[in-house]
Amino acid sequence: MAIIDKKHLFKRGEQWYLKLPIPRPLQRHFLTSNGKPKGHIIESLGDSLTQAQLQRNRRVMAYEAVFTRLRAGEEMTPDQIKTAVSLEGGVYGWESHFPKGVNYSELYKIITAAMIHGQATTPKLVTPPTIIEQSSETISQAAAAWLTETQQDTSTATKRTTMEGHRQRVGVFIKQCGDLPLSSINRAMASDFLASIGKTNRTINNYGTTLACVFRSAKDRGRFSGDNPFERHRRKVNKKTNRVPFEVSELQTLFDAMPRDIRPTKHTPETALPWVTLIGLFTGMRLEELCQLKADDIRDQHANGATVTIIDVHNGSGNSLKNESAVRLVPVHSELVRAGLLDYVKTLPKGSLLFPGLTRRTSKGDKIGARVGELFSKKLTALNLKREGLCFHSLRHTVAGRLDAAEVRKSDAARILGHTVEGETFGTYSDGPGLKVLAGVIEAVTYPGLSI
């Protein structure tokens, strides 16, 4: 059965209509009768599907040519745009240069490519192969190739969350501007797109970096030539607010408002929050490190004739850490045992998440701890504890401060916190006397006067 091409077409009653999306940065050139930007071009194409398809091909060809001119910085009035897409002039004037019976489904692609590459307004007939050879990959094709080669590069430890972020940013560009050939995207268009993001400079820089990498990869593979339109758009970013440690009084207020349940009737982000916070306070683990743990990651480890109960922070099996230094074994603090952590673990099925009520969120880069972080921030605000620099990551700074105050060796503090151990290839004690030493070091993290 033949597939009927209805792209950019819809039917209302007996009439067929064109519905062509207008790239968001160009919508200011297409206004409604009320002076508001249009999101789509809607035009009647008659009651015959065959004729509607032919008219669709012609008009898409014309409008794509206009879009290209506008992206290049040309200013066009509504009347000029109307003239450019009318049957009497503009692109449609090219029809007389082609043989009768030409397939316009292919023709409008060829003419659009010709305009993109700077052909004259009324060019001589150019054979399709020449034009096709000049056209480049589309943004989605180039992005797919770049992401594939990035994943295959074993010399870089690219996290799944990072890859998902790249995909999302490319998707936003395609949604706003269309899946365009790389050769049709210029610096003005790149600048307009980045300006339209409307978020922080840090986020805008992330978009620029992702898209610049897509073009760089395409150029290296010979699919794109010319200047990279997303290079040199970087914006100034203010330094991060310095994190500050918690005061004991603040911690007391926080834990008084977060009772723990050893055997929750139903596991939710709310039941996870008190445990995640408590473990963070006595280990200095990062939020995502904590939330992606499995129940089996808290286990006993032999250490030079003794047994140490540890938290196994590792990559693989769905876990994704910040860097190689983050891989470590963290001894379980005696306060966590006294608070009932091991009893809580025993209630969980083998192989389950340590916090089964948590799920990964695509909108947050596939992170599993995003909701807990939000709840923690809301809790600080509700308890009037919120102040500049105070957040979940402050627990990590609090632990680092306690280790420093106890004059713990920097190398041992680094092994607990997952920092790089200078002068050593591997910073993890897997067993032996080193692990027994860390079990003693972790006990230096104390909070006199705190009742949990």
Mean per-residue pLDDT, 176-180? 87
3-state class (DSSP) for residue 353: strand
Written as six digits, the tokens of 91 are: 């692109």
Architecture of the 248-444 domain: Orthogonal Bundle (1.10)
Residue 97 has pLDDT above 80, yes or no: no
Name the percent of the chain lying above pLDDT 90.
35
H or E element: which one contains 307? Answer: strand 306-313
Round to whole Å and give the CA distance between 99 and 47: 26
Residue 113 has pLDDT above 60, yes or no: no
340 secondary structure, DSSP code: T
Written as six digits, the tokens of 284 are: 């200095």
**What does DSSP say about strands 15-21 and 306-313: parallel, antiparallel, or unpaired?**
unpaired
Query: What is the phi/psi pair of residue 37, to 5°?
Result: -60, 140
Mean per-residue pLDDT, 5-30? 87
DSSP per-residue letters across 12-56: ETTEEEEEEEPPGGGGGGSB-TTSPBPSEEEEEEES-HHHHHHHH
The reported pLDDT for the residue numbered 34 is 82
pLDDT in tens, 120-165: 343 443 334 333 334 468 999 999 999 888 877 654 445 566 788 8
The reported pLDDT for the residue numbered 240 is 60
pLDDT in tens, 289-345: 999 999 999 999 887 678 889 999 888 777 777 677 788 899 999 999 999 999 999
* Pair 58, 64: CB distance under 8 Å: no
The reported pLDDT for the residue numbered 424 is 53
Which band of pLDDT confidence, cut at 50, 70 and 90, is reported for residue 69? confident
pTM given for the model: 0.52
H or E element: which one contains 2? Answer: none
| Between 416 and 69, residue with greater pLDDT | 416
Q: Which of 174-178, 202-206, 329-333 has the highest mean pLDDT?
A: 329-333
Domain boundaries, the chain: 9-134, 139-220, 248-444
3-state class (DSSP) for residue 283: helix
